[in-house]
Protein backbone atom coordinates (compact mmCIF):
# COMPACT_ATOMS: atom_id res chain seq x y z
CA UNK A 1 0.00 0.00 0.00
CA UNK A 2 2.93 2.30 0.62
CA UNK A 3 6.69 2.21 0.85
CA UNK A 4 6.70 1.95 4.64
CA UNK A 5 5.64 -1.68 4.33
CA UNK A 6 9.21 -2.42 3.37
CA UNK A 7 10.40 -1.53 6.89
CA UNK A 8 11.28 -4.80 8.60
CA UNK A 9 10.62 -4.93 12.34
CA UNK A 10 12.38 -7.06 14.93
CA UNK A 11 9.76 -9.42 16.40
CA UNK A 12 8.73 -8.61 19.96
CA UNK A 13 9.40 -11.24 22.63
CA UNK A 14 6.68 -9.87 24.89
CA UNK A 15 3.64 -12.11 25.26
CA UNK A 16 0.66 -10.67 23.40
CA UNK A 17 -2.47 -9.65 25.28
CA UNK A 18 -5.23 -7.21 24.40
CA UNK A 19 -4.96 -5.66 27.88
CA UNK A 20 -3.75 -2.09 27.43
CA UNK A 21 -4.03 -2.26 23.64
CA UNK A 22 -5.91 0.34 21.59
CA UNK A 23 -8.44 -1.24 19.24
CA UNK A 24 -10.24 0.43 16.34
CA UNK A 25 -13.39 -1.48 15.40
CA UNK A 26 -16.13 -0.92 12.84
CA UNK A 27 -19.64 -2.27 13.30
CA UNK A 28 -19.39 -2.37 17.10
CA UNK A 29 -22.84 -1.02 17.98
CA UNK A 30 -24.69 -4.28 17.34
CA UNK A 31 -24.28 -8.00 16.74
CA UNK A 32 -20.87 -9.64 16.67
CA UNK A 33 -19.02 -6.34 16.89
CA UNK A 34 -20.87 -5.27 20.02
CA UNK A 35 -20.34 -8.62 21.72
CA UNK A 36 -16.64 -8.50 20.86
CA UNK A 37 -16.31 -4.91 22.08
CA UNK A 38 -17.84 -5.83 25.44
CA UNK A 39 -15.47 -8.74 25.94
CA UNK A 40 -12.45 -6.72 24.82
CA UNK A 41 -13.37 -3.97 27.26
CA UNK A 42 -13.67 -6.56 30.02
CA UNK A 43 -10.17 -7.77 29.14
CA UNK A 44 -8.67 -4.31 29.49
CA UNK A 45 -8.62 -2.99 25.92
CA UNK A 46 -9.23 0.64 25.01
CA UNK A 47 -11.58 1.08 22.08
CA UNK A 48 -12.23 3.39 19.18
CA UNK A 49 -15.67 2.79 17.72
CA UNK A 50 -16.34 3.74 14.11
CA UNK A 51 -20.11 4.16 13.89
CA UNK A 52 -22.75 5.87 11.80
CA UNK A 53 -25.29 6.69 14.53
CA UNK A 54 -23.94 8.95 17.29
CA UNK A 55 -26.76 8.32 19.78
CA UNK A 56 -26.37 4.55 19.49
CA UNK A 57 -22.59 4.81 19.70
CA UNK A 58 -22.78 6.99 22.82
CA UNK A 59 -25.01 4.41 24.49
CA UNK A 60 -22.61 1.59 23.62
CA UNK A 61 -19.59 3.63 24.73
CA UNK A 62 -21.18 4.26 28.12
CA UNK A 63 -21.83 0.55 28.54
CA UNK A 64 -18.26 -0.33 27.56
CA UNK A 65 -16.79 2.15 30.03
CA UNK A 66 -18.92 0.61 32.75
CA UNK A 67 -17.73 -2.88 31.81
CA UNK A 68 -14.16 -1.63 32.04
CA UNK A 69 -14.75 -0.36 35.55
CA UNK A 70 -14.38 3.25 34.50
CA UNK A 71 -10.79 2.68 33.39
CA UNK A 72 -11.59 1.90 29.76
CA UNK A 73 -11.04 4.58 27.15
CA UNK A 74 -13.76 4.54 24.53
CA UNK A 75 -13.65 6.99 21.63
CA UNK A 76 -16.39 7.50 19.05
CA UNK A 77 -15.63 8.24 15.42
CA UNK A 78 -18.53 8.87 13.06
CA UNK A 79 -18.40 7.66 9.46
CA UNK A 80 -20.55 6.40 6.60
CA UNK A 81 -18.68 3.36 5.32
CA UNK A 82 -20.41 3.63 1.93
CA UNK A 83 -18.60 6.92 1.26
CA UNK A 84 -14.88 6.96 0.48
CA UNK A 85 -14.72 10.63 1.48
CA UNK A 86 -16.22 9.76 4.86
CA UNK A 87 -13.74 6.92 5.36
CA UNK A 88 -10.88 9.28 4.55
CA UNK A 89 -12.24 11.91 6.92
CA UNK A 90 -12.66 9.50 9.83
CA UNK A 91 -9.15 8.11 9.29
CA UNK A 92 -7.77 11.65 9.44
CA UNK A 93 -9.59 12.27 12.73
CA UNK A 94 -8.40 8.95 14.18
CA UNK A 95 -4.80 9.71 13.29
CA UNK A 96 -5.08 13.15 14.88
CA UNK A 97 -6.50 11.76 18.14
CA UNK A 98 -4.84 8.35 18.49
CA UNK A 99 -1.05 8.28 18.83
CA UNK A 100 -1.15 4.48 18.91
CA UNK A 101 -3.26 1.79 17.22
CA UNK A 102 -2.56 -1.84 18.08
CA UNK A 103 -5.50 -3.62 16.45
CA UNK A 104 -7.78 -2.73 13.55
CA UNK A 105 -10.96 -4.79 13.30
CA UNK A 106 -12.85 -4.43 10.01
CA UNK A 107 -16.17 -5.89 11.10
CA UNK A 108 -18.93 -3.72 9.61
CA UNK A 109 -20.89 -5.37 6.83
CA UNK A 110 -24.15 -5.16 4.93
CA UNK A 111 -26.13 -6.79 2.14
CA UNK A 112 -28.54 -5.08 -0.26
CA UNK A 113 -31.11 -7.15 -2.13
CA UNK A 114 -31.49 -4.56 -4.89
CA UNK A 115 -28.60 -3.05 -6.77
CA UNK A 116 -27.68 0.32 -5.31
CA UNK A 117 -24.67 2.53 -5.97
CA UNK A 118 -22.74 4.76 -3.62
CA UNK A 119 -21.86 8.41 -4.09
CA UNK A 120 -18.61 7.10 -5.58
CA UNK A 121 -20.44 5.00 -8.18
CA UNK A 122 -19.60 1.66 -6.54
CA UNK A 123 -22.07 -1.14 -5.97
CA UNK A 124 -23.21 -0.75 -2.35
CA UNK A 125 -22.57 -4.20 -0.84
CA UNK A 126 -19.09 -4.30 -2.37
CA UNK A 127 -18.30 -0.75 -1.29
CA UNK A 128 -19.23 -1.28 2.37
CA UNK A 129 -17.87 -4.79 2.80
CA UNK A 130 -14.63 -4.62 0.80
CA UNK A 131 -13.57 -1.23 -0.55
CA UNK A 132 -14.19 0.65 2.70
CA UNK A 133 -12.09 -1.70 4.88
CA UNK A 134 -9.41 -1.79 2.18
CA UNK A 135 -9.18 2.00 2.23
CA UNK A 136 -9.40 2.32 6.02
CA UNK A 137 -6.61 -0.22 6.44
CA UNK A 138 -4.45 1.67 3.96
CA UNK A 139 -4.99 4.97 5.74
CA UNK A 140 -4.25 3.61 9.25
CA UNK A 141 -1.43 1.28 8.27
CA UNK A 142 1.49 3.55 9.15
CA UNK A 143 0.09 4.08 12.66
CA UNK A 144 -0.36 0.33 13.09
CA UNK A 145 3.22 -0.27 11.99
CA UNK A 146 4.48 2.37 14.40
CA UNK A 147 3.21 0.18 17.26
CA UNK A 148 5.92 -2.35 16.41
CA UNK A 149 3.57 -5.32 16.58
CA UNK A 150 -0.06 -4.97 15.50
CA UNK A 151 -3.00 -6.94 14.16
CA UNK A 152 -5.58 -6.43 11.42
CA UNK A 153 -8.66 -8.65 11.71
CA UNK A 154 -11.33 -8.93 9.02
CA UNK A 155 -14.76 -10.49 9.54
CA UNK A 156 -15.36 -12.94 6.70
CA UNK A 157 -17.94 -15.72 6.43
CA UNK A 158 -18.42 -19.38 5.55
CA UNK A 159 -20.83 -17.94 2.99
CA UNK A 160 -17.84 -16.99 0.82
CA UNK A 161 -18.06 -20.52 -0.57
CA UNK A 162 -21.25 -19.56 -2.44
CA UNK A 163 -19.10 -17.41 -4.73
CA UNK A 164 -18.08 -20.48 -6.70
CA UNK A 165 -16.93 -18.48 -9.72
CA UNK A 166 -14.62 -16.33 -7.64
CA UNK A 167 -14.43 -12.58 -8.08
CA UNK A 168 -16.23 -11.50 -11.26
CA UNK A 169 -13.56 -9.17 -12.57
CA UNK A 170 -15.44 -8.81 -15.84
CA UNK A 171 -18.42 -7.32 -13.96
CA UNK A 172 -17.02 -5.42 -10.94
CA UNK A 173 -20.29 -3.53 -10.51
CA UNK A 174 -22.28 -6.80 -10.27
CA UNK A 175 -24.80 -5.60 -12.83
CA UNK A 176 -25.33 -9.15 -14.05
CA UNK A 177 -26.07 -10.52 -10.58
CA UNK A 178 -28.87 -8.02 -10.03
CA UNK A 179 -30.35 -8.44 -13.52
CA UNK A 180 -33.12 -10.91 -14.38
CA UNK A 181 -32.96 -13.92 -14.24
CA UNK A 182 -29.92 -13.94 -11.88
CA UNK A 183 -31.72 -11.54 -9.57
CA UNK A 184 -34.33 -14.23 -8.92
CA UNK A 185 -31.67 -16.88 -8.35
CA UNK A 186 -29.97 -15.34 -5.34
CA UNK A 187 -27.89 -12.73 -7.13
CA UNK A 188 -27.75 -10.45 -4.09
CA UNK A 189 -26.69 -13.34 -1.87
CA UNK A 190 -23.95 -14.31 -4.30
CA UNK A 191 -22.76 -10.71 -4.34
CA UNK A 192 -22.54 -10.75 -0.54
CA UNK A 193 -20.62 -14.04 -0.74
CA UNK A 194 -18.28 -12.43 -3.25
CA UNK A 195 -17.49 -9.64 -0.78
CA UNK A 196 -16.71 -12.18 1.95
CA UNK A 197 -14.48 -14.03 -0.50
CA UNK A 198 -12.76 -10.72 -1.19
CA UNK A 199 -12.20 -10.19 2.55
CA UNK A 200 -10.31 -13.48 2.75
CA UNK A 201 -8.24 -12.77 -0.35
CA UNK A 202 -7.45 -9.27 0.93
CA UNK A 203 -6.28 -10.73 4.23
CA UNK A 204 -3.88 -13.15 2.55
CA UNK A 205 -2.55 -10.62 0.05
CA UNK A 206 -2.03 -8.01 2.75
CA UNK A 207 -0.10 -10.57 4.79
CA UNK A 208 2.26 -11.09 1.87
CA UNK A 209 2.84 -7.35 1.51
CA UNK A 210 3.33 -6.81 5.25
CA UNK A 211 5.76 -9.67 5.79
CA UNK A 212 8.50 -8.63 8.19
CA UNK A 213 6.80 -5.42 9.32
CA UNK A 214 5.38 -6.71 12.60
CA UNK A 215 1.78 -6.26 11.43
CA UNK A 216 -0.13 -9.51 11.03
CA UNK A 217 -3.47 -10.12 9.36
CA UNK A 218 -6.31 -12.50 10.21
CA UNK A 219 -9.84 -13.23 9.04
CA UNK A 220 -12.50 -15.49 10.46
CA UNK A 221 -15.90 -17.08 10.00
CA UNK A 222 -18.24 -16.18 12.88
CA UNK A 223 -20.73 -18.85 11.84
CA UNK A 224 -24.45 -18.35 11.36
CA UNK A 225 -25.24 -15.75 14.00
CA UNK A 226 -28.58 -14.40 15.24
CA UNK A 227 -28.17 -10.64 14.72
CA UNK A 228 -30.08 -7.78 13.12
CA UNK A 229 -28.16 -8.31 9.87
CA UNK A 230 -30.17 -8.05 6.62
CA UNK A 231 -33.11 -6.29 8.28
CA UNK A 232 -33.04 -3.44 5.74
CA UNK A 233 -34.12 -5.50 2.75
CA UNK A 234 -37.88 -5.83 3.15
CA UNK A 235 -40.32 -8.30 4.65
CA UNK A 236 -39.06 -11.41 2.87
CA UNK A 237 -35.49 -10.82 4.06
CA UNK A 238 -36.69 -10.28 7.62
CA UNK A 239 -38.77 -13.45 7.56
CA UNK A 240 -35.82 -15.42 6.15
CA UNK A 241 -33.50 -14.14 8.86
CA UNK A 242 -36.12 -14.88 11.53
CA UNK A 243 -36.31 -18.49 10.33
CA UNK A 244 -32.52 -18.77 10.24
CA UNK A 245 -32.28 -17.59 13.84
CA UNK A 246 -33.75 -20.93 14.90
CA UNK A 247 -30.48 -22.52 13.79
CA UNK A 248 -28.14 -19.66 14.68
CA UNK A 249 -25.57 -19.17 17.42
CA UNK A 250 -25.63 -16.17 19.72
CA UNK A 251 -23.65 -13.01 18.91
CA UNK A 252 -21.43 -13.83 21.88
CA UNK A 253 -20.59 -17.22 20.39
CA UNK A 254 -20.07 -15.64 16.97
CA UNK A 255 -17.63 -13.16 18.50
CA UNK A 256 -15.49 -15.78 20.25
CA UNK A 257 -12.98 -16.20 17.43
CA UNK A 258 -12.74 -12.43 16.92
CA UNK A 259 -11.94 -11.92 20.61
CA UNK A 260 -9.47 -14.81 20.52
CA UNK A 261 -7.67 -13.38 17.49
CA UNK A 262 -7.48 -10.02 19.28
CA UNK A 263 -6.19 -11.38 22.57
CA UNK A 264 -4.44 -14.71 22.07
CA UNK A 265 -0.67 -15.02 22.03
CA UNK A 266 -1.10 -18.36 20.24
CA UNK A 267 -1.60 -16.66 16.87
CA UNK A 268 1.36 -14.30 17.22
CA UNK A 269 3.44 -14.57 14.07
CA UNK A 270 0.68 -16.21 12.07
CA UNK A 271 -0.59 -14.06 9.24
CA UNK A 272 -2.95 -14.20 6.29
CA UNK A 273 -4.95 -17.17 7.57
CA UNK A 274 -8.67 -17.92 7.86
CA UNK A 275 -10.10 -19.19 11.14
CA UNK A 276 -13.24 -20.99 12.25
CA UNK A 277 -14.05 -21.62 15.91
CA UNK A 278 -10.56 -20.61 17.03
CA UNK A 279 -8.82 -22.95 14.60
CA UNK A 280 -7.14 -22.42 11.25
CA UNK A 281 -9.57 -23.39 8.51
CA UNK A 282 -9.26 -23.91 4.76
CA UNK A 283 -11.29 -21.46 2.66
CA UNK A 284 -12.60 -22.22 -0.82
CA UNK A 285 -10.35 -22.78 -3.81
CA UNK A 286 -11.06 -19.29 -5.27
CA UNK A 287 -10.01 -17.80 -1.91
CA UNK A 288 -6.59 -19.43 -2.30
CA UNK A 289 -5.97 -18.12 -5.82
CA UNK A 290 -2.87 -15.94 -5.48
CA UNK A 291 -3.17 -14.40 -8.96
CA UNK A 292 -6.79 -13.46 -8.29
CA UNK A 293 -5.79 -11.93 -4.94
CA UNK A 294 -3.32 -9.67 -6.71
CA UNK A 295 -5.96 -8.72 -9.30
CA UNK A 296 -8.37 -7.92 -6.48
CA UNK A 297 -5.75 -5.71 -4.86
CA UNK A 298 -5.24 -3.78 -8.07
CA UNK A 299 -9.00 -3.43 -8.54
CA UNK A 300 -9.45 -2.09 -5.00
CA UNK A 301 -6.58 0.35 -5.48
CA UNK A 302 -8.39 1.80 -8.48
CA UNK A 303 -11.78 1.81 -6.78
CA UNK A 304 -10.45 3.51 -3.65
CA UNK A 305 -8.35 5.94 -5.71
CA UNK A 306 -5.10 5.29 -3.85
CA UNK A 307 -1.54 4.56 -4.82
CA UNK A 308 -0.51 0.92 -4.46
Q: Which positions are annotated as active-site residues?
A: 192
d(CA 214, CA 147): 9
Residue 182 DSSP SS3:
helix
Q: Provide the pairing of β-strand 22-26 with 46-51.
A: parallel
Enumerate residues 6+ apart whose C-beta is below 8 A from 95: 139, 140, 143
CA 82 to chain centre: 14
Residue 275 DSSP SS3:
strand
User: Greatest CA span in the chain, whole angstroms?
Assistant: 56
Phi-psi label, residue 230: left if phi above 0, alpha if psi -120 to 50, beta otherwise: left
Amino acid sequence: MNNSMQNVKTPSTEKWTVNGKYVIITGATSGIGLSAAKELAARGADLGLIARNRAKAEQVASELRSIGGGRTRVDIFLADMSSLASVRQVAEIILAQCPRIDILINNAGAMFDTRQTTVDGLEMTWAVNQVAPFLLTHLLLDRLQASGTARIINTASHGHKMAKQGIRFDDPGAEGLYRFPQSLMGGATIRYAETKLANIMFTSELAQRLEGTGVHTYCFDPGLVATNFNQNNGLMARLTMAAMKLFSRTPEKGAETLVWLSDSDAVTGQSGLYYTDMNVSTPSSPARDRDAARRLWDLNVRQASISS
